[in-house]
Structure 1
Amino acid sequence: MSRIPPPLWRAVLPALACLALAGCSSPSPSSADAVDASSAAPHGDTPNSPKETGSRAANEPGSPESAASPTHVGIPSIGVNSSLMRLGLNEDGTVEVPPAEKGMTVGWYTGGAVPGERGAAVLIGHNDTRLGKAVFHDLKKIGKGADIAIRNDRGAEIHFRVTGTETVSKKAFPTEKVYGATDQRVLRLITCDGAFDAQGHPVDNLIVYAARS
């Protein structure tokens, strides 16, 4: 997977902010895990992403290649208990999302930080799919201070505390705020929210912000 070298990040970010984050779930059970906005189905609910952030070079300490990989997320307050699948980018630069048949599985966007390392780690999950309620259906109920536990493939468990939530229009997604470089060890959870447009696509994204506790 190609990455934007760190010096180019600030130059690329303004263009990324113009991208519509409107990805949805797959209408076909035979679709690949990579699902883009053009193949969206009614009740799909996860966002497209910016281009690969490339905030770290391959094999640099803290990168997905060198750090422990996250394997599980638990959010006791809303009953989330899910393995984590890896998500990259589609050919058009939009983020992969879990396929509809894995609606109860959360995805980790590998173009961001590894949870617990410096930077913004991003988890993406469906609210609903054509198969019914999905893993982040109750994400809107999460409260400030709620615990989010990430377990990695080395057996360690890392905890985050929710610092706030935000509902935004997909046409005005805060790309830099969510995906931008930071020295903090933070986590973002993203799903869809709000009313449906004429094509049956949710018009908003729900973003949950959390910091390592």
Structure 2
Amino acid sequence: MADQQPFQSNPPRTAPGSGLLSRRLMWPAGAFLLGTLLVYNSIDTPADPKAQQPRPAGVATATPGSAHRAVPTLARSIPKRISIPEIAVDAPFTALTIGPKGQLNAPPANDKNMVGWFQGGATPGERGASIVAGHVDTKTGPAVFMLLGSLKKGSKIDITRTDGRVASFKVDSVETFSKSQFPNDQVYADTADAQLRVITCGGAYNKAAKDYEANVVVFAHLDSTSRK
């Protein structure tokens, strides 16, 4: 699992004065949906299908994590580390950006214990759906999210942020989607509360395409916050 196929996002929200990506624009809450699939490939060069265009949306879309106790959201703050004790994940973050072909760049393939977050979207704990992604394997063996698909409803994901806060998420569901029929709206829609999407490869490995045929997506919502 290395590069990703073309990826379109909302013109992302930024905190005042934060220069995250020069190509980004300010956007009102719920103004756009993420327009194409965030698809991780395996360990070789991906195909390069045409990118779709973002579609306007008037309101936040209901998601698997929408029926739960509301927790006050946090201000924007860069994530530092992710912890998922149930599957022995304890890994640092690296920021993911959009590449020249419109794809979301993957975390470094030579670091099996590195997780990426899409810096053009919500930070974990901030209002909206924060996108986190990592390798299921690399050329040298299993990687950080090898066991991601074994999480269950109620599993806990802790993300430590640079502001000293820990955003604790509770898993609502774990889904596997074919890459050819990836539900963009369900995964990337704007949300009225703080949610999390954790994504890696899944399904069968297609040797001819040198790619996994599906994505595992963990849907989670902010359950509590604390000081580190």
TM-score bin, normalised by smaller chain: 0.7 to 0.9
Match of 1:209 among 208, 219, 224: 219
Q: 1:98–1:82: structure 2 CA closer, same or farther, 3 Å change rule?
A: same
Aligned 1:54-203 pairs, distance under 5 A: 67-197=76-206, 198-203=208-213
Query: Does the residue aligned with 1:199 lie in a helix, a strand or coil?
Result: coil
Distance 1:22 1:187 in 2: 16
1:103 positional shift: 2.4
Distance 1:23 1:126 in 2: 8
Distance 1:122 1:169 in 2: 18
1:124–1:191 CA contact under 8 A, matched in 2? yes
* Partner AA of 1:208 in structure 2: V
* Partner AA of 1:210 in structure 2: A
- Structure 2: stretches of 5+ with no match in the other structure: 1-20, 58-72, 224-228
1:119–1:182 CA contact under 8 A, matched in 2? yes
Deviations 1:85-141 (A, max 9, x none): 100111121111112102221101112211001000011010011111000001111
Q: 1:50–1:148: structure 2 CA closer, same or farther, 3 Å change rule?
A: farther
Query: Does the residue aligned with 2:110 lie in a helix, a strand or coil?
Result: helix
TM-score, structure 1 normalization: 0.76
Runs of 4+ in 1 over 4 A off after TM superposition: 49-53
Distance 1:4 1:50 in 2: 19
Distance 1:37 1:23 in 2: 9
Distance 1:154 1:117 in 2: 12
Aligned length: 183
1:52–1:111 CA contact under 8 A, matched in 2? no
Distance 1:170 1:67 in 2: 31
Distance 1:141 1:190 in 2: 13
Deviations 1:135-156 (A, max 9, x none): 0001111111011000011211
* Partner AA of 1:211 in structure 2: H
Distance 2:82 2:156 in 1: 11
* Partner AA of 2:119 in structure 1: T
Determine the structure 1 residue equivalent to 2:69: none
Distance 2:53 2:78 in 1: 21
Moved more, 192-201 or 119-128: 192-201
- Structure 1: stretches of 5+ with no match in the other structure: 28-35, 40-48, 56-61
Distance 1:174 1:194 in 2: 16
Determine the structure 1 residue equivalent to 2:41: 24
Structural RMSD (CA) = 3.0
